[in-house]
Amino acid sequence: MPTGTSSGRCPVLRVRTIYASGAGEAARYYAGYAGYLDPENSHEVPGLWAGRQADGLRLSGPVSQQQLKDLLSGLDPTTGTRLGDPFRDKVTKHGKLIRAVAGYDATFSAPKSVSLWWGLTGDEGVLDAHNLAVQAALTHLETYGCTTRVWHSGRRQFPDAAGFTMALFQQSTSREDDPQLHTHAVISSKVIAPDGRWMALDGHYAKKTQQAVGRLYQSVLRAELTHRYGVVWGPVVKGQAEIDGVPDELLEVFSKRAAQVEALREVLTEAFLEREGRDPTRREAAAIEREAAVDSRRAKSGLPVAEAQTRWIDEAQALGWDGDRLARTITGRPQPERTQPTVDDILDTVTAKSSTWRRADLLAAICDHTPPGPEWNGTDWARAVEHATDKVQDLHRDLDPDIVGPTRADGRSVWMDPMVKHLTHDRVLAQEERILTYVLDAQDHPASPSATVDVTGLDPLQADVARAVAGSERVVLVVGPAGAGKTTTLAAAGLDLHRQRRTV
């Protein structure tokens, strides 16, 4: 039986900015598509209010299009009262337009195998597991990412706000009408500061830790589905795993949207190579992928979910599959032995990217490396993962200065920017000390550039760098922008070092 594997078809979480100038359009997309005004012909279920601040605004139950438009326009959806300062776009002295931010769309997408399972069976338990995982991730986001920025005594503080006002919209299809279970959490940028004023949400946590929060969603989803149904999972790749036993042919036939994005990504990458003469950097590759996703997207067809499910069943049957066969294949499986990660495993993961990190980085590593057993339901697993993150954090060095005064939910002073990396480890500090000692000792040895480097094809600066690297200096720092020829330069130095019979 082929095993479904994660292919990065959907990001584990994507957080997009919603601008106030597009409040009406956003409200039409989310609430209008949910069919609030025409539930009998609804394409999706109506959205629901959520968040601690939604309770404070007396918002509960279904979300109407007008309510959402009011909220994204900076108004109380119940009374129409303005919440704090009005949204205003600004133009800098250099002529740059800065658009007012009305909120954020945090979109949680289930793995394709989970969406396909639900799409072919309509099993409400699968949907419940998705919703539970979304709630766990949003609870984390509201706990650690609901902060604002205020001025106090001439300095900026980053205190916790009272909570989010959110509208949750569950959707079932991709833009190609394939099964794609996902939830849009529309989070208002209006929050209440500790002094009672309506202020702007500091959205940096949601934007910069979306990979970690998305991994929490995926981990809790795996826990709940394993607990309820006894499924087994394939390898975790970029935070996401597919259910073991779902055939690749099914995953491929119901991934038309991913195929479109991938095809355009390849075209754009080839164009980049031809234009720049080099491979794109990691950041450039991510930008190309985003461009491919945007340029290849089309408006949703508006096909009702019931009609889409009929089409899915027909497509699966053409391959010899139906919901019953799929459910029998993937549920009630013997559970494999699970190896739990050590603290060193988590440390290896975070230190591979940086010498300092945040709590969210530890959370992401724990979610990726810790497989939930069937004895854990999703709710308990979410608590366990957060608790484990706290315990691992306690073993690290905190680089924040000692500041007496109020703290946030993350335990840090309100004077500290929550996005500043503040954790490290004795192992990292010891490595830094060895490097500094090595560099200082190297200064006692005079530099002697190599005179035998073949500098054919190198410009004068590249030639100087190649000679220095292949010379006797123990430490040589090479800095240059992308496309400056660093790879070519170091290749020339490497050839010379080989000729000198020195280890490279």
What distances in angstroms separate CA 415 from CA 144, 200, 408, one per listed residue? Answer: 15, 17, 10
Residues 106 and 188 in one domain: yes
Question: Which strand (E) or helix (H) includes residue 439?
Answer: helix 426-442
Q: Write down which residue in 365, 383, 398 finishes a domain.
A: 398
d(CA 133, CA 135): 5
**What whole-number distance in Å separates Cα of residue 180 and Cα of residue 172?**
5
Instruction: Let me know if residue 432 belongs to a domain.
Output: no
Predicted local distance difference test score (pLDDT) of residue 3: 43
Among candidate residues 359, 379, 398, the one where a domain is terminated? 398
- Residues 117 and 493: their CA atoms lie apart, in Å, by 55
Residue 296 lies in a domain: yes
Please give the Cα distance from 50 to 63 (Å, whole number): 10
Res. 89 pLDDT band, cuts 50 70 90: very high
| C-alpha dist (Å) from residue 272 to 265, 293, 297 | 10, 16, 21
404 lies in a domain? no
Same domain, yes or no: 258 and 149 = yes
Residues 239-268: pLDDT tens digits? 999 999 999 999 988 886 555 556 666 777
Same domain assignment for residues 368 and 467: no
> Mutual orientation of helices 210-229 and 359-369 as an angle, nearest 10°?
30
> What's the total number of domains in the chain?
2
Claim to verify: residue 30 and residue 170 sit in the same structural domain = yes
Q: Is residue 38 part of a domain?
A: yes
Instruction: Answer whether residue 314 shows pLDDT above 80.
Output: yes
Same domain? 474 vs 384:
no
- Own/partner pairs, 340-343, CB within 8 angstroms, 24+ separation: 340/370, 340/371, 341/366, 341/369, 341/370, 343/392, 343/395
* Distance between CA atoms of residues 368 and 435, nearest Å: 31
Task: Give the pLDDT band of residue 305 (cuts 50, 70, 90).
Answer: confident
The reply to whether 372 and 468 lie within a common domain is: no
pTM of the complete model: 0.83
Residue 157 covered by a domain = yes
Secondary structure in 3-state letters for 449-460: CCCCCCCCCCCH
Predicted pLDDT of residue 37: 41
- At 2, the pLDDT band (50, 70, 90 cuts) reads very low
389 and 452 in a single domain? The answer is: no
Distance from C-alpha of 453 to C-alpha of 467, rounded to nearest angstrom: 6
CB 49 within 8 A of CB 167: yes
With H, G, I as helix, E, B as strand and everything else as coil, classify residue 109.
strand
Q: Which two tokens mark 74?
A: 């900076």
> Is residue 381 located within the same domain as residue 459?
no
468 is a domain residue: yes
* 53 assigned to some structural domain: yes
CB of 419 closer than 8 Å to CB of 351: no
- What angle separates helix 305-317 from helix 323-330, to the nearest 10 degrees? 70
Q: Do residues 474 and 363 both lie within one domain?
A: no
Q: How confident is the model at residue 10 (pLDDT cuts 50, 70, 90)?
A: low
Whether 430 maps to a domain, the answer reads: no
Q: What secondary structure does DSSP assign to 276-344, as a single string?
A: HSSPPPHHHHHHHHHHHHHHT--------HHHHHHHHHHHHHTTT--HHHHHHHHSSPPPPP-PPPPHH
Whether residues 390 and 478 share a domain: the answer is: no
The predicted-structure confidence for 93-103, as pLDDT tens digits, reads as follows 899 999 999 99
**So what's the pLDDT on residue 292?**
63
Specify the higher pLDDT residue, 430 or 284: 430
* 461: pLDDT strictly greater than 80: yes
* pLDDT in the model for residue 352: 92
Domain boundaries, position 169: 13-398
Q: Give the pLDDT confidence of 112-161 residue by residue, as tens digits.
A: 999 999 999 999 999 999 999 999 999 999 999 999 999 988 899 999 99
Asked if 294 and 150 sit in the same domain, the reply is yes
Residues 105 and 247 in one domain: yes
Lowest-pLDDT choice from 29-33, 125-129, 390-394 = 29-33
